[in-house]
Amino acid sequence: MCGLVGFISHQQQDAVLESMLSVLSYRGPDDSGVLVSQINDNFIHLGQNRLSIQDTSKKGHQPFVSDCGNYVLVFNGEVYNFKSIRVELETLGQTFISGSDTEVILYAYKHWGMACLDKFIGMFAFAILDKQKQQLTLVRDRAGVKPLYYHLSDGGFAFASEIKSFHKFPSFKKKLNKSVLPYYFQFGYIPAPHSIFENTFKLEPGCYLEIVLKGSVPLFSLKALKENKGTDPFKKYWDVAEYYQKGKFDDSEAKIISNLEELLTDAVNLRMVSDVPVGVFLSGGYDSSLVTALLAQDKSRKLHTFTIGFEDKKYNEAEHAKAIAKHFNTQHTEYYVSNQDMLDKIELLPYHYDEPFADSSAIPTMIVAELAKKDVTVALSADGGDESFCGYSKYFMLKRFESTFNSSIKKGSVNGLLSLFNEKQAERFNSWLPKKHQATNIQDKYIKFKRAMGSESLAEMFSNASSYVDSYDVGRFLKVDSDLLGQFKFDDKLSFMDNMMLTDYKTFMADDVLTKVDRATMSVSLEGREPLLDHRIIEFMARVPLGIKYKNKQGKYLARQILYKHIPQAMIDKPKAGFQIPLVDWMLSDLKPLVDKHIIESQLDDEIFDVSEVMVIKREFYRGKHILVNVLWFILMFQMWREQWDV
């Protein structure tokens, strides 16, 4: 894993390049390199910090220049099948000086152009300078595992793995992009292609951007980019929606399970290709247990697994993960997290996440990454399983009420019934159920459920069930209006369930989950790999009939059937928990000094907030209206981010 930076300007600025690169040194502490090339009136600056994974020698040094000198690459990520691509290139007469995937990527481009992307299985963000075409191309992987940002200004065009590098770019202005704030305060993250700053964007997953280096045309706007190219410079080379739109498989269930297991096995084994130690984040849930189970089939492989636990049994899954690790005979490391451990990480969040980011599970993710880094340089995570295998409980809940929107009488009945209960009563009712039927984090789920039932369409219902803060509450305290939020767009030709999974894959997973894992792992120079986000898996699962994805009232039905081959069913079946923290308890105690420091009238911008309403929300929370905890947490993360970056 690495950090890359670059910019185009009309004068050479070596010191700026070095400064932008040094900010990301923790992403690649093993090596660093820069290069400046002039094409016409443009100076193209490229820099990269390297975390050595494949061929740890200096032969993999970047920027990597081709043997002919016409192509230059800076690259972050891994192409796992690079060895087979290398063999194919060698049959075409290509020779190699290293054993790195970096060199394979560059020569794949040299021989096949952008069609090389169809061959890559992996996670990547890279920039290729093609001197023959006089063109710079930025590329991001299909799922968006690796980040890539770009900035346009009158001083030129810049790109980087993280926004913080732009703070060292002379013409970068820290001008708040207020249009994204309603989205952030409802969902807790900022969606691609937008960022928290004006004129600064995320390159969307599955896309590349071509920049033609003509004369002295200034690249200070998207309009200028398009005029310089003559056509749209943004190209989408892969879109998961295309696979949902294809016909469903008509194979037998047994055949589908067999094909899926073969895909999964290849995906996890490919991600063990490394010249440094590799481990697995093991939570004890279906997804991480499945990854561990498939890897454990190679008995010659000694697996390292890592888990964190919590003293509060309500949040603790460490004992279960330990049992899974024992079953597969892994070299297991667990660490019980104290409140102080997590509180120490909170003030680091605004620095490492660059933008306001309110997913509180970033805190335990940073801690488990730090734990793993003591023993390994690469760790496999199991993100993407819920979106691909149909795992989120909201899918099943909302599916049951799909027919509600065909009957106003039913809808009124549902809302009337829900009004009889509050979230605390729902938690009490949940505790009366048999343990195997109990839901975790029931209060939050019940609140989202009530919110969803007040919707006017299926898309709005899904949006409300996916948000952490009620749009009504956002409207109370936020002065900013925006047409960015609206509601998720559903495809009328797809089923409700397919629309939900597709939307989560393209939004929540890419901009929340993967951002969380990338920054957490990179903060300690650890490479995180995502086997369940192998594009072949989601392409396959998008075409699996819903009746097999969700069967016997079970999500992840297919993943379960494969896992049951390797572990007793009774050992793995349990309610889903996930990384959670006792946020209400913290806001009432340990975090109260931070709240009182950042959420006070003198610190709140009255052009953004209705300050009096924010103070009312704060008082209501401390008087017992704990349903407002996410509102207060989101505001706190925003305020701490503004202080960190002096915005």
Q: How far is CA 321 from the centre of its chain?
A: 23
Q: How many CB atoms lie within 10 A of CB 480?
A: 15
Q: Write the DSSP string, 175-237.
A: -B-GGGHHHHHHHSS--TT--SBTTEEEPPTTEEEEEE--TT----SHHHHHHHHSS-SEEE-
Residues contacting 178, CB < 8 A, separation 6+: 480, 482, 608
Q: Which residues of 107-146 are buried (b: 16+ CB within 10 A; e: fewer)?
A: bbbbebeeebbebbbbbbbbbbbbbebebbbbbbbbbbbb
Q: d(Cα 288, Cα 324) in Å, to the nearest integer?
A: 10
Contact 347, 379 (CB under 8 A): no
**Residue 508 and residue 212 in contact, taking contact as beta carbons nearer than 8 Å:** no
Q: Are 321 and 284 in contact (CB under 8 A)?
A: yes
Q: Where are the alpha helices (DSSP H) in 433-531?
A: 442-452, 458-466, 471-477, 496-506, 508, 514-522
Distance CA 150, CA 536 (A): 28
Is residue 390 part of the annotated active site? The answer reads no
Q: Could you give the CA distance from residue 158 to residue 35 in angstroms, rounded to a whole number?
A: 15
Q: How far apart are CA 135 and CA 128, in angstroms?
A: 8
Q: Which residues pair with 527 in a beta bridge?
A: 378
Question: C-alpha dihedral over 120, 123, 126, 130, to 10 degrees?
Answer: 0
Residue located via tokens 């989120």: 392
Task: Write down how long the chain is.
Answer: 647
Q: Which amino acid is residue 417, in one-letter code? A: L
Peptide bond into 233 cis (omega under 30): no
Tokens of 591: 């975090």
279 touches 375 (CB < 8 A): yes
Q: How far is CA 104 from CA 83, 86, 111, 271, 483, in A?
A: 8, 6, 11, 17, 43
Instruction: Name the 3-class secondary structure at 46.
Output: strand
Which single residue is written with the structure tokens 């890539």?
A: 148
Q: How far apart (Å, rounded) are the C-alpha atoms in residues 628 and 259?
A: 46
CB 354 within 8 A of CB 163: yes
For residue 609, give the DSSP letter. B
**8 Å CB contact between 256 and 264:** no
Rounded distance between C-alpha atoms, residue 406 and residue 100, angstroms = 57
Of 45, 27, 25, 26, nearest to 37 by C-alpha is 45
Half-sphere exposure of 626 (CA within 13 A, CB side): 13
Q: Given 2, 116, 207, 390, which residue is catalytic?
A: 2
331-337 and 304-310 strand pairing: parallel
Residues labelled catalytic: 2
